[in-house]
């Protein structure tokens, strides 16, 4: 220490101190960098909330109220979570053109994913709810298709039919066909229960269960589906199959019988 103190007036001392100070600043910066990044995240978060609020005021507030509290035309959005927004807006169901009719149907989505995310962030800020799932949650890795089939038949098939082709409900409502629906949206629908669909929260249908169900749907109801039985006839079960057999199968037999009997075998045509 004495040695160091003795050299404090050395011409290079200032340089050394400067270097040490720089290193310390750098080290301190490195140590606190994540914190400041979080700061930045929070800023972008509040920015997204602001942007989402503006979008909300234009597209949603007329029915759901200026603060998401709901009105006679639309339910409260407090606590529905980002997943519900991503599903409803991402599938084009919201904003609904009208609240008339049995149910709001899927249509062309008019928002960019970035705008949907901003809206979702705003709605999520009103009250805690399910988050938008990540692709690791709904992706095919580690999914058990057979288990998914069992779970689908227990929980979903009563309305969506055995392979997700959909079906009728009361008073004009229906469960939609699940073919071509984004796995993320299927996951969100199970989490949030849009419109008359009951929800299947993680507490009763685990994340893994949901992943299995999505993998099953991809196996039986998508472009890549191989159908060993031949024509699937809408995949609606015995009704369409019976109709096909009766009309086309028996119809062909009747036509052949008529054709055979209508042609006379006689040499002299009468």
Partner 1 sequence: MSSQDIPEENLPAEQGHAHGAVDVADEQNPFADPGLPPHEHRIQDIDERAAKRSERTVAFLFTLSMLATVGFIASYVTIPPDRSIFVFPIGHISALNFALGLTLGAALFCIGAGAVHWARTLMSDVEVADERHPIQASPEVRAKVFADFKEGATESALGRRKLIRNTMFGALALFPLSGVVLLRDLGPLPEDKMRHTAWSKGKLLVNMNTNQPLRASDVAVGSLTFVKPEGLEETDEEFQNEIAKAAVMIVRLQPDDIKDKQELEWSHDGIVAYSKICTHVGCPISLYEQQTHHVLCPCHQSTFDLSDGARVIFGPAGHALPQLRIGVNPEGYLEALGDFAEPVGPAFWERG
Within residues 203-242, the interface with partner 1 by CB under 8 A covers 203-206, 209, 225-232
Q: Are 162 and 229 in contact (CB under 8 A)?
A: no
Token couple for 129: 């709810």
Three-class secondary structure of residue 120 per DSSP: helix
User: Taking contact as CB under 8 A, which single stretch among the options 4-12, 87-95, 189-197, 243-251 is the one that binds partner 1?
Assistant: 189-197
Residues that contact partner 1, how many (by CB under 8 A): 38
DSSP 15-66: HHHHHHHHHHHHHHHHHHHHHHHHHHHHHHHHHHHHHHHHHHHHHTHHHH-T
Least distance (Å) between residue 159 CB and partner 1: 5
The vertex-117 CA angle with 115 and 118, nearest 5°, equals 65
Cα separation, 33 vs 211, in Å, equals 36
The answer to whether 198 contacts partner 1 (rule: CB under 8 A) is yes
Which one, 39 or 195, has the nearer CB to partner 1?
A: 195
Cα separation, 118 vs 56, in Å, equals 9
Which one, 179 or 232, has the nearer CB to partner 1?
A: 232
Least distance (Å) between residue 197 CB and partner 1: 7
x-marked contacts with partner 1 along 242-261 as a string, rule CB under 8 A: ------------------x-
Q: How far is CA 123 from CA 43, 61, 96, in A?
A: 17, 12, 17
Q: Pick from 155, 162, 166, 244 the residue near partner 1 by CB under 8 A.
A: 155
Cα separation, 235 vs 245, in Å, equals 15
Angle, helices 81-90 vs 113-126, to 10°: value is 150
User: Taking contact as CB under 8 A, which single stretch among the options 60-68, 107-115, 131-139, 194-202 is the one that binds partner 1?
Assistant: 194-202
Least distance (Å) between residue 172 CB and partner 1: 12
Q: Pick from 27, 201, 242, 251 the residue near partner 1 by CB under 8 A.
A: 201
Which one, 160 or 185, has the nearer CB to partner 1?
A: 160
> Please, how many CA atoms are within 13 Å of residue 244, restricted to the half-sphere of its CB?
11
Q: Pick from 39, 66, 113, 154 the residue near partner 1 by CB under 8 A.
A: 154
Least distance (Å) between residue 151 CB and partner 1: 6
> Please, how many CA atoms are within 13 Å of residue 207, restricted to the half-sphere of its CB?
12
Which one, 61 or 197, has the nearer CB to partner 1?
A: 197
Q: Which residues are known binding-site members for heme c? A: 60, 63-64, 156, 159-160
Positions touching partner 1 (CB under 8 A) are 151, 154-155, 158-159, 167, 169-170, 173, 175, 193, 195-201, 203-206, 209, 225-232, 260, 265-270
């Amino acid at each position: 220490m004495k040695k160091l103190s003795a050299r404090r007036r050395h011409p290079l001392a200032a340089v050394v101190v400067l270097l040490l100070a720089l290193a310390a600043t750098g080290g301190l910066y490195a140590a606190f960098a994540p914190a400041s990044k979080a700061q930045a995240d929070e800023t972008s978060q509040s920015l997204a909330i602001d942007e989402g609020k503006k979008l909300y005021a234009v597209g949603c507030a007329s029915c759901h109220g200026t603060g998401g509290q709901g009105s006679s035309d639309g339910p409260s959005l407090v606590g529905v979570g980002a997943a519900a927004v991503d599903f409803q807006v991402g599938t084009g169901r919201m904003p609904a053109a009208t609240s008339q009719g049995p149910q709001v149907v899927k249509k062309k989505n008019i928002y960019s994913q970035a705008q949907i995310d901003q809206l979702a962030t705003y709605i999520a800020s009103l009250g805690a709810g399910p988050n938008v799932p990540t692709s690791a949650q709904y992706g095919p890795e580690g999914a058990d298709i057979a288990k998914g089939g069992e779970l689908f038949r227990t929980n979903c098939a009563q309305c969506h039919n055995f392979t997700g082709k959909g079906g009728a409900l009361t008073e004009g409502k229906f469960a939609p066909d699940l073919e071509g629906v984004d796995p993320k949206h299927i996951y969100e629908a199970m989490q949030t229960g849009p419109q008359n669909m009951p929800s299947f929260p993680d507490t009763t249908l685990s994340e893994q269960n949901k992943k299995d169900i999505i993998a099953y749907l991809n196996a039986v109801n998508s472009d890549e589906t191989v159908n060993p039985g031949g024509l699937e006839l809408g995949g609606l079960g015995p009704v369409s199959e019976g109709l096909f057999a009766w009309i086309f199968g028996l119809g062909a037999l009747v036509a052949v019988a008529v054709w055979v009997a209508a042609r006379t075998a006689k040499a002299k045509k009468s």
